[in-house]
Amino acid sequence: MTDDSRRDKDTRRQTPVTIIDIARMANVSKKTVSRVINESPLVREETREIVKQIIKETGFTPNPQARALAFRRSFLIGLVYDNPSPQYVVNMQRGILDALDETSFQLVLRPCDRADANYRERVESFVVQHKPFGLILTPSVSEDDELAEMLRERNCAYVRIASVEIDKPDLIIRTHDAQGAELAARHLAQLGHKRIGHIHGPNTFRSTHERLAGFTKGLADFGLTLDPDLTIEGAYTFDSGVQCATTLLHKQDRPTAIFAGNDEMAVGVYVAARKAGLQIPQDLSIVGFDDTPISSRIWPPMTTVRSPIRDVGRAAARRLIQVDGGSAAQPPGAFALELIVRESTEAL
Amino acid sequence: MTDDSRRDKDTRRQTPVTIIDIARMANVSKKTVSRVINESPLVREETREIVKQIIKETGFTPNPQARALAFRRSFLIGLVYDNPSPQYVVNMQRGILDALDETSFQLVLRPCDRADANYRERVESFVVQHKPFGLILTPSVSEDDELAEMLRERNCAYVRIASVEIDKPDLIIRTHDAQGAELAARHLAQLGHKRIGHIHGPNTFRSTHERLAGFTKGLADFGLTLDPDLTIEGAYTFDSGVQCATTLLHKQDRPTAIFAGNDEMAVGVYVAARKAGLQIPQDLSIVGFDDTPISSRIWPPMTTVRSPIRDVGRAAARRLIQVDGGSAAQPPGAFALELIVRESTEAL
DNA sequence: CTGAAAGCGCTTACAG
DNA sequence: CTGAAAGCGCTTACAG
């Protein structure tokens, strides 16, 4: 290939231009161009304008690999998750991608399995090797303090999505699971239900206890208490929902309503009810949690607590890349949960 | 920070060791170490063993950012998708992650929207800036020849997942949509259905035509033809399923069975049937496509065509990173589709 | 506010 | 089969 043909080809490329070209064109050093790129205040306003103009005209974008090498930090945002609900995961991804759109950050997927004894080491070696700009942790891995501790030692930025204040405010995006569960409780109590079952998530999830606490509080407001005998631990999976509901529905004095810790399990309750020959909602009222698509597609459409997962993901990513000036302020009432009343609940 | 404390800290790190350290310890040049890392045959077997041993002992892993800069190619695998079904997306991701596990490749998400006039440019700028190792394209973007052409010009590796042979065999992972639809047709015909409706995907999807062709063929085997009046275009979404089914069910001579192009739309058919006061499967048989989780959770459990999406994703990623020696051989019968008969279909 | 030098940790191109 | 030099495109540390 001759030099000429090379050049021809290069001009067709979108980024043949480097920081050196920009520096030459602007009559400054590459360091000054670098300062402009990185928004250093140590540049005269006039110089900055000139450089910016040339960057714009040439369509120059700094090479992320070169920056990563020099910065010792890449432009990857890792999503670390172990949530078994596909819908939760997809919504979270969408929110994060909303925030990363038009930036030079890329979303990298890091699923993990807390049952794996080496799970922290796997995250660690990703962090050490790829030096991600930051990590977004979702429940339940977000609740693992040892993991967070390791990230701090490794000097890796992170944001934890959690239902409790388990870290410094600017490292947490707080969800209000308790409040959502409380809404569910009040709704069922208002409908006149007294024997109410609850299938909660794994005890290893903090959100499980939050939701349980909120649900208990909501019932208490109506003078009701949650019968421990009607409170069962599920696994946030469909199958566990079927199984737990079957147990509940075969009790001597079966509940007239069941609140499940997420939609996946609530859908399992539907199946168990049908198998037990019970009509929904005439014989059994059901409330889920998350408002995933299945809740509106199933029959009868399910009453559930809407959790703004996508919004939460977007906020977490923004926090990490500091789009709003890095403000940690989470407006009060942010990510409020709401009860979506459909047709799976009915007055007793 | 003193030099000593720095060193102390560094020894705790997992990758303080560089190619230079390895070279020194092995008494060779960095180039030779580089050759070993990149599996060049131009290294004496003995030398290779020594270097490998030292790499193993030190736990050295080459810095991906530095390699990317020198190689002018990163170690990212981009998943480019526009499939509206979350379940499809999650399964695909899982398959790809299966293949990338334990490698130094990372999965990066690149959702896109073909309705966006600049969608190809967005993919292009990702490719130009981040120089991904390769891209995995899923339907329908995988069917866009202009996109593939652009990637070839940009010298970007890719694998297209598609239902038709639209590219060189080693650039395609072929799915057998027609065969799956044929199974659905035969099943319904065997049950004695004659008036059969079909809600297919968007006409802009190649898979739509494949499935339609397969379905038609399956019916033909039983002397049946597909009534154009009972064949409607949906959008692969739940809402479009409800809408199309409503139209079909209000026809003078309504179909006794409906085959939907994916599960999302099939679930929509359930809802439309209920609204029309029809019992499933007594009054209407329904068959879906994909075997996403919802099909087994809905009531009655849905008969559907199982599409091995996760396996397909795994194969696509393997092809891209050439784990099996880059063999393009797709064994005959690979990714065969099967009919999962549940309770949404019944003899007429 | 600005810049020249050195360096990030690898690979390519060339030479032997 | 092996290596010394130059380079990938940026930033850090230092100097002015």
- In angstroms, rounded to a whole number, what is the distance separating the alpha carbons of residues B170 and B152? 14
Provide the shortest C-alpha distance from residue B333 to chain A (in Å).
29
CATH number assigned to the domain covering B177-307: 3.40.50.2300
B32 CB contact with strand D at below 7 Å = yes
Beta-carbon separation of A64 and B125 below 8 A: no
| Domains A17-52 and A74-175+310-321 belong to one CATH topology | no
| Assigned token pair, A236 | 């946030």
Out of 1.10.260.40, 3.50.50.60, 2.40.50.100, 1.10.3720.10, select the CATH number for domain B3-62. Answer: 1.10.260.40
Q: B-chain residues within 8 Å CB-CB of A125?
A: 14, 61
- In angstroms, rounded to a whole number, what is the distance separating the alpha carbons of residues B233 and B246? 13
The residue whose two tokens read 């494949």 is B210
Helix (H, G, I), strand (E, B) or coil at B49: helix
pLDDT value for A330: 66
Model pLDDT for residues A271-289, shown as the tens digit of each residue: 999 999 999 999 999 999 9
Model pLDDT for residues B68-114, shown as the tens digit of each residue: 999 999 999 999 999 777 888 999 999 999 999 989 899 999 999 99
A140 in Cβ contact with A204 (< 8 Å): yes
Beta-carbon separation of B108 and A104 below 8 A: no
Q: Is domain A17-52 annotated with CATH 3.40.50.2000? A: no
Nucleotide D13 C1' to residue A95 CA (A)? 39
Give the list of residues 6+ apart from residue A173 with CB closer than 8 angstroms, or none. Answer: A159, A160, A161, A162, A312, A315, A316, A319, A330, A335
Domain ranges of chain B: 3-62, 73-176+310-321, 177-307
Q: Could you tell me which of B281, B330, B286, B285 has the C-alpha nearest to residue B308?
A: B330
Asked if the model's pLDDT at residue B59 lies above 50, the reply is: yes
| CATH level 3 topology of A74-175+310-321 | Rossmann fold (3.40.50)
Mean pLDDT of chain B: 90
Asked if the model's pLDDT at residue A84 lies above 80, the reply is: no
Provide DSSP, B99-164. HHTTSS-EEEEEE--TTSTTHHHHHHHHHHHH--SEEEE-TTGGG-HHHHHHHHHTT--EEEEESS
Mean pLDDT of chain A: 90
Helix (H) or strand (E) holding B312: helix B309-321
Q: A-chain residues within 8 Å CB-CB of B120?
A: none
pLDDT value for A14: 46
Nucleotides of C under 7 A from a protein CB: 1-5, 7-13
A231: β partners: A198
| Assigned token pair, A319 | 């926090």
Asked if the model's pLDDT at residue A8 lies above 70, the reply is: no
Out of 3.20.19.10, 3.40.50.2300, 2.40.10.340, 3.40.190.10, select the CATH number for domain B73-176+310-321. Answer: 3.40.50.2300
A155 contacts chain B (CB < 8 A): no
Model pLDDT for residues B290-324, shown as the tens digit of each residue: 998 889 989 999 999 999 999 999 999 999 998 66
- In angstroms, rounded to a whole number, what is the distance separating the alpha carbons of residues B161 and B172? 6
| Assigned token pair, A104 | 């030079």
Whole-angstrom CA distances from A191 to A178, A213, A219, A230 are 20, 20, 12, 19
Amino acid at B248: L
- In angstroms, rounded to a whole number, what is the distance separating the alpha carbons of residues B200 and B220? 18
List the alpha helices (DSSP H) in A13-140: 19-26, 30-37, 45-58, 64-71, 86-100, 119-130
DSSP character for A190?
A: H
Nucleotide C11 C1' to residue A41 CA (A)? 36
Nucleotides of D under 7 A from a protein CB: 1-5, 7-13
Q: Could you tell me which of A288, A236, A211 has the C-alpha nearest to residue A83?
A: A236
pLDDT value for B293: 83
Asked if the model's pLDDT at residue A9 lies above 70, the reply is: no
Model pLDDT for residues A226-243, shown as the tens digit of each residue: 999 999 999 988 999 999
Q: What is the mean pLDDT of residues B188-199?
A: 97
B96 in Cβ contact with B161 (< 8 Å): no
B94 in Cβ contact with B310 (< 8 Å): yes
Asked if the model's pLDDT at residue A206 lies above 70, the reply is: yes
Omega of the bond leading into B281 within 30 degrees of 0 (cis): yes
Amino acid at A105: F
Q: Reading across the β-sheet that carries A257-260, which strands appear in turn? A: A231-233, A196-200, A257-260, A285-290, A303-306, A338-340
Q: Could you tell me which of B156, B113, B116, B154 has the C-alpha nearest to residue B136?
A: B156
| Assigned token pair, A320 | 């990490």
Q: Could you tell me which of A77, A269, A305 has the C-alpha nearest to residue A186?
A: A305
Q: What is the mean pLDDT of residues B265-286?
A: 96
- In angstroms, rounded to a whole number, what is the distance separating the alpha carbons of residues B249 and B253? 8
pLDDT value for B219: 97
Beta-carbon separation of A65 and B61 below 8 A: no
End-to-end CA separation in angstroms for chain B: 82
- In angstroms, rounded to a whole number, what is the distance separating the alpha carbons of residues B110 and A109? 12
Provide the shortest C-alpha distance from residue B101 to chain A (in Å).
10
- In angstroms, rounded to a whole number, what is the distance separating the alpha carbons of residues B287 and A84? 27
Beta-carbon separation of A106 and B61 below 8 A: no
Asked if the model's pLDDT at residue A308 lies above 80, the reply is: yes
